[in-house]
A and B are shown apart, each in its own frame.
Chain A
Amino acid sequence: MDTTLRLAWRNLWRNPRRTLLTMCAIGFGAVLLIFSIGLQLGQYDMMIGSNVRIYQGLLQIQRDGYRADPKMRTSIPDILNLAQKVRLGTGFQQVSARANGFALVSSAKRTYATAVIGVEAANEPRVSTLPGLVKQGHYLSSNHANEVVIGAALAKNLQVSLGDELTLLGAARDGAVAAAVLPITGIFESGNADLDRSMVQIPIETFQETFGMEGHGHSVVIFEEDFKKVTQYQQRIEQALGPHPGLVVLTWDQLQPGLKEMIDLDYSAGWFMYVVLVAIITFSILNTFLMSVLERTREFGIMLALGYKPFNIGRLVMLEALILTLFALMIGIALGVAVNTYFYYHGLTFEGMEEMAKLYNLPAYIKPQMSIKAVLSGPALILIFTLLAALYPAMRIRLLSPVEAMRKI
Chain B
Amino acid sequence: MKQGYTLIFALAWRNLWRNPRRTIVILFAIVLGAWAMIVMAAYSRGMSQQVFNNAIDNLLGHIQIHAPGYLEDPVIDRVLDTQQPALKTALLAPEIQHTAARVRVPAVVASERDSQGVTLLGIDPAAEADMSFIRKSVTLGKYFEGNQDGGIILGKKLVERLETSLGRRVVLMTQNSQNKIADRGFRIVGIFDTMIDAQETSYAFITLGTAQQMLDLGTNVSEIAVKLSHADHTDKILGGLRAGLPGLDVKPWYTLDALTKLFQDTWEGSAFVWYLIVFLAMGFGIVNTILMAVFERTREFGLFQALGLKPNFILLQVWLESLLLLTTGLAIGNLVSWLTVLATGDGIDVSAFSQGMEMVKLSKIIPFVLTTDDLVVANAVVLILGLLTCLYPAWRAARLVPAHAITRV
Taking CB as reference atom, which chain B residue is nearest A23? Answer: B284
Residues of A within 8 A of B80 (CB): none
Q: Smallest Cβ distance from B338 to chain A, in angstroms?
A: 17
Does B40 belong to the interface (CB within 8 Å)? yes
Check B288–A288 contact: CB distance below 8 A: yes
| A262–B32 CB distance below 8 A | no
B173 interfacial contact with A, CB 8 Å: yes
Given contacts A287-B22, A290-B21, contact A18 B356 (CB under 8 A): no
Q: How far is the CB of B6 from chain A (nearest CB, A)?
A: 29
A355 near B288 with CB under 8 A, answer no
Cα–Cα distance between A72 and B115 once the two chains are bound (Å)? 11
Chain B residues with CB below 8 A from A286, complex form: 25
B355 touches A280 (CB 8 A): no
Within 8 A of A (CB), among B262-286: 262, 265-266, 274, 277-278, 280-282, 284-286
B285 touching A273, Cβ below 8 Å: no
**A21 in contact with B284 (CB, 8 Å):** yes
Q: Would A287 and B285 count as touching, CB distance under 8 A?
A: yes
CB of A283 within 8 A of chain B?
Answer: yes
Residues A280 and B282 in contact in the complex (CB < 8 Å), given A102-B115, A109-B179 = yes
Measured CA separation A257–B116 after assembly (Å) = 22
B26 touches A284 (CB 8 A): yes
Q: Given A284-B26, A287-B288, check contact A356 B259 (CB 8 Å).
A: yes
Known contacts A25-B281, A102-B117, A113-B106, A262 near B258 by CB under 8 Å: no
Q: Is the CB of A265 within 8 A of B356?
A: yes
Instruction: Give the chain B neighbours of A95 by CB distance below 8 A.
Output: none
Q: Which of B124-132, B305-313, B319-327, B357-365 contacts A (4 or more CB under 8 A)?
A: B357-365
- Cβ of B291 within 8 Å of any chain A Cβ, yes or no, is yes
B73 contacts A by Cβ under 8 Å: yes
Contacting residues, chain B, for A280 (C-beta < 8 A): 29, 32-33, 36, 278, 281-282, 285
**Which residue of B75, B286, B288, B359 is within 8 Å of A262 (Cβ)?**
B359
User: Restricting to A113-153, which residues have a CB under 8 Å from any CB of B?
Assistant: 113-114
B241 to chain A, nearest CB (A): 25
Q: Are B357 and A262 in contact (CB under 8 A)?
A: yes
How many residues in A have their beta carbons less than 8 Å from beta carbons of B?
53
Q: Does A188 contact B (CB under 8 A)?
A: no
A104→B350 CA distance, assembly (Å): 38
Contact mask for chain A residues 227-246; partner B; CB cutoff 8 A; 1 contact, 0 none: 00000000000000000000
Looking across the interface, which residue of chain B has its beta carbon closest to that of A359?
A: B259
A57 at the B interface (CB under 8 A): no
Check A276–B36 contact: CB distance below 8 A.
yes
A25 to B282 alpha-carbon distance, docked (Å): 8
Residue pair A262, B262 in contact (C-beta under 8 Å): no
Q: Is there contact, CB below 8 Å, between B175 and A111?
A: yes
Q: Separation in Å of the A1 CB from the closest CB of chain B?
A: 30
Q: Chain A residues with Cβ under 8 A from B72's Cβ?
A: 156
**Given the complex of chains A and B, what is the CA–CA distance between A328 and B274 in angstroms?**
23
Task: Please give, as numbers and ranges, the residues of chain A lying within 8 Å of B21 by CB-CB distance.
Answer: 290
CB distance from B154 to the nearest CB of A (A): 15
| B161 close to chain A: CB less than 8 A | yes
Asked if B137 lies at the interface with its beta carbon under 8 angstroms from chain A, I say: no
Closest to A193 in B: B72
Contact B161 A25 (CB under 8 A): no
Inter-chain contact B40/A273, CB cutoff 8 Å: yes
CB distance from B386 to the nearest CB of A (A): 13
Are B26 and A265 in touch, CB under 8 angstroms?
no
* Measured CA separation A72–B33 after assembly (Å): 55
B358: contacting residue among A18, A28, A258, CB under 8 A: A258
Contacts known (A104-B173, A110-B75); A32 close to B277, Cβ less than 8 A: yes
Asked if A285 and B36 sit within 8 Å, CB to CB, the answer is no
Is B181's CB under 8 angstroms from A277's CB?
Answer: no
Chain B contacts for A287, CB-based, 8 A: 22, 25-26, 285, 288-289, 292
Do residues A18 and B288 form an inter-chain contact, with CB atoms below 8 A?
Answer: yes
The 5 A-B pairs at the shortest CB distance, nearest first, are namely A284-B285, A261-B356, A113-B117, A262-B356, A25-B284
Please report A residues at the B interface, Cβ cutoff 8 Å. 17-18, 21-22, 24-25, 28-29, 32, 69, 71-72, 102, 104, 109-114, 156-157, 170-171, 257-265, 269, 273, 276-277, 279-281, 283-288, 290-291, 295, 352, 355-356, 359
In the assembled complex, 26 residue pairs joining A and B whose CB atoms fall closer than 8 Å, in A order, are: A18-B292, A21-B284, A22-B284, A25-B281, A28-B284, A102-B117, A109-B179, A113-B108, A113-B118, A257-B356, A258-B355, A258-B358, A259-B359, A261-B355, A262-B359, A262-B360, A273-B36, A273-B40, A280-B29, A280-B281, A285-B288, A287-B292, A290-B25, A352-B265, A359-B258, A359-B259
